[in-house]
Amino acid sequence: MLKKVVVIGPESTGKSTLSQDLANYFACPWVPEYARTYIEQLGRPYDYDDLLNIAKGQVELEEKQSKKAKDLLICDTDLHVVKIWSEHKFGKVHDWILEQINEREYDAYLLTDIDIPWQEDPQREHPHPQMRRHFFDWYLRLIEETGVPFENISGSQEERLQKSIEAIDRFLRR
C-alpha cells in the first residue's frame, strides 16, 4: 500500500531541499512543487484563476509520480498550500480545490519550521518574521484539523533530514 508523506510549511523553510533529500534517502519518487514551474513560465503576476491551474497541475504531477512509487511517495506540498495562498491573497478558494482537499488522502505531514534564515527568491512574498509566524501557525492549525499524523521539523538541514527520516519510519510502522 502506497504511503504519501507531505512536506508542508511557510515559504523559505527548506521544503524542496528536504523533499529531495528524503526521496534520495528512501529511494522513492517525489512530487515537486508545481507552482514554482508554473509561475516561472507565466510572465506576469499570478491571479486567482492561476491558482486553480496550479492546483490541477499539482494533482496531475502527484498522480504521475504515484504510478512510479512502490511503497512511499514524498510530496513537496499539497493543495492546502494553494488554499492558504488563495484565502490570504484573494479571500476565496475555487470549489474544485476544496473538493480535492476533501477527497485526497495522505498518511503524514512534515511541517517545516521558520527557524532557518529567509532566502530571497523572486517568487517569495512574505519575508517578515511576523508573517512567517502567521503562516506557520495557519499551516499548523490546518494540519491539526486533518487528523493526519504530523511532525514539526526544525533545526539545521542535517537535523531536519534526520528528524524527518525518523518520523517517516514511525509513520510507516503504523
Looking at this protein, which amino acid is placed at residue 147?
G
pLDDT tens-digit series, residues 102-147: 999 999 999 999 998 666 655 545 566 788 899 999 999 999 999 9
SS3 55: helix
pLDDT tens-digit series, residues 41-57: 998 889 999 999 999 99
Q: How far apart are CA 88 and CA 28, in angstroms?
A: 33
**Domain range list for the chain:** 3-173
The whole model's pTM is what? 0.93
User: In this structure, what C-alpha cell is assigned to residue 59?
Assistant: 494533482
CATH 3.40.50.720 given to domain 3-173: no
Report residue 153's pLDDT band, with 50, 70 and 90 as the boundaries.
Answer: very high
Q: Which of 65, 167, 21 is nearest to 108 (CA)?
A: 167
Q: What pLDDT score was predicted for residue 170?
A: 95
Whether the CB-CB separation of 58 and 51 falls below 8 Å is answered with no
